[in-house]
Amino acid sequence: MKNRMVRILMAQLGDGYDKTMLQLAKVFRDAGFEVIYTDVQEPETIVASALQESVDHIGITTLPGANINKLSIITELLARQNASDIRVTAGGFIAEEDESRIKKLGIVEFFPKGTTFSELVKWAGENIKPIES
């Protein structure tokens, strides 16, 4: 599977901002990533989708009121499925007091509201690689 496109599953915790999520999916697609977009919000379903689609990475958008503890459930479920090589990033809205906890929940990187699409694509290009099977 040399030189295959990186596969990213995009999901969200919380309702809303669908237009922005679709724009982000298009930006990543145009940058050469294969994007699987889902509107599922439960950790179990997100992980099941990631495994079914054989993704290399999961990107989670956190929306106002999202329960960030669900992020640790996602990383725990990946570990239980022997899929810890699928790394998880998150971005968007979280309470200020939760910012310091985000990496302790198993999240590789958090991108706060206001991070530009070009910054996200640059980070992804430098940090997300296809998982060797």
Q: Of 3.40.50.280, 3.40.640.10, 1.10.10.10, 3.30.43.10, which CATH number belongs to 7-124? A: 3.40.50.280
Give this prediction's pTM. 0.92
- On the question of pLDDT at 3 being above 80, the answer is no
pLDDT of residue 1: 44
Amino acid at 6: V
- On the question of pLDDT at 8 being above 70, the answer is yes
Of 16-20, 47-51, 111-115, the least confident: 16-20
Instruction: Summarize pLDDT for 60-102 with one digit per residue, the tens.
Output: 988 777 788 899 999 999 999 999 999 999 998 887 778 778 8
Domain boundaries in the chain?
A: 7-124
- On the question of pLDDT at 6 being above 60, the answer is yes
Per-residue three-class SS string for the chain: CCCCCCEEEEEEECCCCHHHHHHHHHHHHHCCCEEEECCCCCHHHHHHHHHHCCCCEEEEEECCCCCCHHHHHHHHHHHHCCCCCCEEEEEECCCHHHHHHHHHHCCCEEEECCCCHHHHHHHHHHHCCCCCC
Location of structure tokens 């950790």: 43
Amino acid at 126: E
pLDDT of residue 83: 96
pLDDT of residue 2: 56
Instruction: Summarize pLDDT for 98-129 with one digit per residue, the tens.
Output: 877 888 888 999 999 899 999 999 999 999 99
Q: What are the residues whose beta carbons fall under 8 Å from the beta carbon of 105, sequence distance 6 or more?
A: 68, 69, 71, 72, 75
Average pLDDT over residues 30-50: 92
pLDDT of residue 122: 97
